[in-house]
């Protein structure tokens, strides 16, 4: 629920949101084909881990949450935007194991493409939608309201929702959501038992072979770089993975390929297509062997969500206040302590991105099948 906090340096009369606050249609701002979230005040809560105990509150934040400079955390503790067990503490305060620490932030969510989330089928226990590219499925990292689950709650009043399977942020297509925990558990058991058949389509570079291609290559995911590599079957690296590919059409330059993953590894279809010599035609992460910096390019939601290229100088508050009149258009209020104001999006995120040419078209299991229409890019000229 929303809570008001009293304190110094602008803490008075601020309404702080928690995860209990549902998204609302008015939370979104649409500009030039991009969906933004109006920045809002949010309370992040964590409990002191054993390895954090014995550190000062400022050192803890500066060492564990490196997205902001040391000076910011000093100011945040002094003005009460960082608290311990609901109380203001001095910057020299030593934290103890299991204590509750709160960080009150002016939260800026990354932008996504301004696409609707079309409902394909709505039953008592199951909801299926066509997930647009660039939108994460559920809250993760810096994304909370700009997610499929958040948008469905805000614009359709649909809650609770339990995603049955995952789709990468830049992937589009069929998304199945259970409407209760019991139905979600049934789907989970079927997936774990290997009873669910998954089908995607991709637009790849080159003329894909006419005969069916099966790629058996281990997938080794590097969380730090946000990308996977394919290893020869039998390699000690990575997890076993297998994908079946069938060409649907080709114009000699590009091909539309049916992709049927037998296992479910991170970026499996993308890296197996690269391994086959026919990467997805607009997949900059796997077209090149060079690792792309997703914190700037926006190609990995999870990686980007952990990185914020921000700087705070001694005259930061004055700078923001001076820019307020020039940049604010009434969409949201400027917070003088915020390292992202006066912009709608957080620093380090590029709103100029496109979705991958990878689209989920069908999931089927014991006695059920759900489908999604093909995207426009699946037609080769």
In this structure, the strands spanning 34-37 and 162-163 are unpaired
Residue 348 structure tokens:
């380090």
**Residue 360 placed within a domain:** yes
Q: Which of residues 348 and 178 earns the better pLDDT score?
A: 178
CB hemisphere CA count around 173 (13 angstroms): 25
In a domain, 212, yes or no: yes
CB 276 within 8 A of CB 212: no
- Judge whether 95 lies within some domain: no
Give the C-alpha separation, 86 to 45, whole Å. 10
* CATH number of the domain where residue 264 is located: 3.30.2350.10
Given this model, what pLDDT does residue 290 score?
41
**Could you tell me what percent of the chain has a pLDDT over 90?**
66
- Domain membership of residue 240 (yes or no) is yes
User: Of 12, 27, 59, 168, which residue is the catalytic one?
Assistant: 168
Tens digit of each residue's pLDDT (9 = 90 or more) over 115-142? 999 999 999 999 999 999 999 999 888 8
pLDDT at res. 141 = 84
| Domain assignment present for 235 | yes
Both tokens of 36, joined, read 């933004």
Length of the chain: 381
pLDDT at position 292, please? 39
pLDDT at position 353 is 74
Does 20 score more than 50 pLDDT?
Answer: yes
Which pLDDT value is given to residue 298? 38
Residue 185 contacts by C-beta under 8 Å, 6 or more apart in sequence? none
Vertex 372 angle, CA 133 and 142, to 5°: 25
| Domain ranges, residue 204 | 196-293+354-378
Who's near 140: CB < 8 A, 6+ residues apart? 147, 301, 302, 305
Question: Which residues in 194-225 are b (16+ Cβ under 10 Å) and which e?
Answer: eebebbbbbbbbeebbeeebebbbbbbbeeee
Residue at 81 is within a domain: no
The average pLDDT across 246-263 equals: 96
- Inform me whether the pLDDT recorded for 59 exceeds 90: yes
Answer for the pair 216, 232: CB distance below 8 angstroms, yes or no: no
Known catalytic residue: 293?
A: no
**Of the candidate ranges 30-39, 183-192, 271-280, 292-301, the one whose mean pLDDT is the lowest:** 292-301
**Is residue 111 situated within a structural domain?**
no
The pLDDT score that the predictor gives to residue 348 is 78
Is-contact 84 95, C-beta < 8 A? yes
Q: How many domains is the chain built from?
A: 1
Q: State how far the Cα of 213 lies from the Cα of 216, in Å rounded to an integer.
A: 10
Q: Tell whether 287 is covered by a domain.
A: yes
Average pLDDT of every residue of the chain: 84
303 pLDDT higher than 60: no
């Amino acid at each position: 629920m929303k809570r008001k906090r009293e304190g110094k340096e602008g803490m008075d009369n601020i309404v702080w949101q928690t995860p209990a606050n549902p998204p609302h249609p008015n939370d979104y701002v649409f500009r030039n084909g991009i969906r933004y979230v109006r920045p809002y005040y949010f309370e992040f809560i964590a409990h002191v881990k054993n390895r954090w105990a014995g550190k000062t509150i400022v050192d803890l934040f500066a060492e564990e949450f490196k997205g902001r400079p040391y000076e910011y955390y000093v100011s945040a503790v002094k003005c009460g935007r960082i608290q311990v067990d609901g109380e203001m503490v001095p910057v020299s305060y030593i934290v103890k194991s299991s204590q509750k620490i709160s960080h009150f932030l002016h939260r800026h969510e990354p932008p996504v493409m301004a696409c609707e989330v079309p409902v394909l089928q709505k039953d008592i226990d199951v909801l299926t939608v066509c997930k647009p590219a660039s939108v994460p499925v559920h809250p993760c990292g810096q994304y909370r309201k700009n997610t499929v689950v958040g948008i469905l709650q805000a614009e359709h009043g649909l809650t609770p929702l339990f995603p049955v399977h995952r789709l990468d942020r830049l992937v589009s297509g069929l998304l199945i959501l259970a409407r209760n925990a019991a139905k979600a558990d049934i789907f989970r058991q079927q997936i774990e038992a290997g009873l669910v058949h998954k089908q995607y389509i991709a637009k790849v570079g080159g003329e894909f072979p006419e005969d069916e291609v099966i790629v058996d290559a281990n997938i080794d995911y590097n969380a730090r770089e946000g990308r996977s590599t394919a290893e020869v079957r039998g390699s000690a690296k990575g997890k076993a993975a297998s994908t079946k590919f069938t060409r649907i059409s080709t114009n000699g330059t590009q091909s539309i390929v049916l992709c049927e993953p037998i296992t479910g590894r991170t970026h499996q279809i993308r890296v197996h297509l690269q391994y086959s010599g026919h990467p997805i035609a607009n997949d900059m992460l796997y077209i090149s062997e060079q690792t792309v910096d997703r914190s700037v390019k926006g190609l990995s939601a999870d990686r980007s969500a952990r990185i914020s290229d921000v700087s705070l100088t001694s005259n930061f508050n004055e700078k923001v206040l001076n820019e307020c009149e020039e940049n604010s258009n009434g969409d949201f209020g400027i917070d003088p302590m915020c390292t992202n104001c006066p912009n709608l999006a957080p620093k380090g995120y590029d709103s100029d991105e496109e979705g991958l040419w990878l689209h989920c078209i069908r999931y089927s299991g014991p006695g059920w099948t759900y489908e999604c229409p093909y995207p426009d890019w699946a037609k080769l000229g």
